Amino acid sequence: MTANPPLLAVEQLTVSFRSGRRESPAVEDVSFTLDAGETLAIVGESGSGKSVTSLAVMRLIPDPPGRINAGRILLNGKDLLALNDSDMQRIRGNDIAMIFQEPMTSLNPVMTVGTQIAESVRLHQGRNTAEARQHALDMLRRVQMPSPEQRLDQYPHELSGGMRQRIVIAMALACNPMLLIADEPTTALDVTVQAQVLDLMRTIRSELDAGVLLVTHDLGVVAEMADRVLVFYAGRVVESAPVRSLMRRPRHPYTLGLLGAMPRLSTRGGTRHERLLEIPGNVPPPGSRGPGCYFAPRCAYATQECRDAQPPLEEKHAGHLAACWHSDELEEPA
């Protein structure tokens, strides 16, 4: 018997951006899979290629200056990069939906929230105005919006940040997508609202059996939400592992540095904050990366081998992959 293909399979994806006459890769040779009902987190610093990868899956890379140079993006075995624009429009918002980082940039300020939710329902499901409005109301109830009948006819500026994020989630889920991409969905929210949004996303994932691609820099959110983790650095995947395996024993120095930079509390001799560790240096910009490991200039474990040759992404433990020549030498995380 042939095993079912993964819900999403990204194969050797490369995305570049042009500046003047120069074209530089922002994402290089990235491959991963995501199954239905699974949450895959992508983590890394700003400029690591996380959001570019998610936009590539949606086919939303601005061209120009961006371009998908190589690779395949398979949704249930169908290559999205081979589709024409009209076919992709039918998939985007229906089979694949995206929750953006800042709600105000993805909401129309001159349309009521009910109209904006109903718009995708009319477009993708062919419902009339009354049916679409009722579905919009049902979606507001589904995302636990307070006083949903009142919110339906309000404008985005009349709502709080947490309410606007619920509107964006309601829009994304209006057509019951099989794949949900969440790009930093809790960044601008306070901790109470953040917890509510994460609970909502867990509930929705369970109800729809949807795959969730979660883009974040917050390892606390990753530990709470994800099944597996991809660690991006300078446009490449440097580590891939089940979330518990990665938290307990990272196999790449960059991941170890990210874990060391997480806030921690110590109760020895009373509650106090421990000083955060830092990773020296910065992510190298596209076009200025050397032939070896891109993390080598910032890495305490780097040798001449690291500076000369890019290490392959290979299995270090069961289901745990890393691109590092010195994985077995890393210290245990704090």
Look at residue 2 in the predicted model and tell me its pLDDT.
47
Residue 319 contacts residue 242 (beta carbons within 8 Å): yes
pLDDT value of position 220: 87
**How far is Cα 118 from Cα 139, in angstroms, rounded to an integer?**
10
- DSSP, collapsed to helix, strand or coil, labels residue 322 as strand
d(CA 54, CA 237): 14
Q: State residue 1's pLDDT score.
A: 44
| Domains detected in the chain | 8-95+178-193+206-329 (3.40.50.300), 105-176 (no CATH)
Asked if 239 contacts 231 with a C-beta cutoff of 8 angstroms, the reply is yes
Closest alpha carbon to 316 in 242, 258, 236: 242
**Are the CB atoms for 171 and 116 separated by under 8 Å?**
yes
Report the 10 Å Cβ neighbour count for 117: 26
Q: Kindly report the pTM of this predicted structure.
A: 0.90
Q: What is the pLDDT along the chain (334 residues), one digit of tens a residue?
A: 446 789 999 999 999 999 888 889 999 999 999 999 999 999 998 889 999 999 999 999 988 899 999 999 999 999 999 999 999 999 998 899 998 877 777 889 999 999 999 988 888 888 898 999 999 999 999 888 899 999 999 999 999 888 888 898 888 888 889 999 998 887 767 787 788 888 888 888 888 889 999 999 888 889 989 999 999 999 999 999 999 999 999 999 999 999 987 766 555 554 455 566 788 888 888 878 888 999 999 999 999 999 999 999 999 988 999 999 999 888 776 6
Within 13 A of 116's CA, how many CA atoms are on the CB side? 26
- Residue 189 has a pLDDT of 73
Q: Please, which contacts does 187-195 make with residues 24 or more away whose CB atoms are closer than 8 Å? A: 187/101, 187/102, 187/216, 187/218, 188/101, 188/102, 188/103, 188/161, 189/161, 189/162, 189/165, 190/162, 193/161, 193/162, 193/165, 194/221
Separation of alpha carbons 239 and 169, rounded Å: 29
Handedness of CA 159, 164, 167, 171 (dihedral sign): positive
Residue 218 is predicted with a pLDDT of: 86
> In whole angstroms, what is the distance from residue 232 CA to residue 236 CA?
5
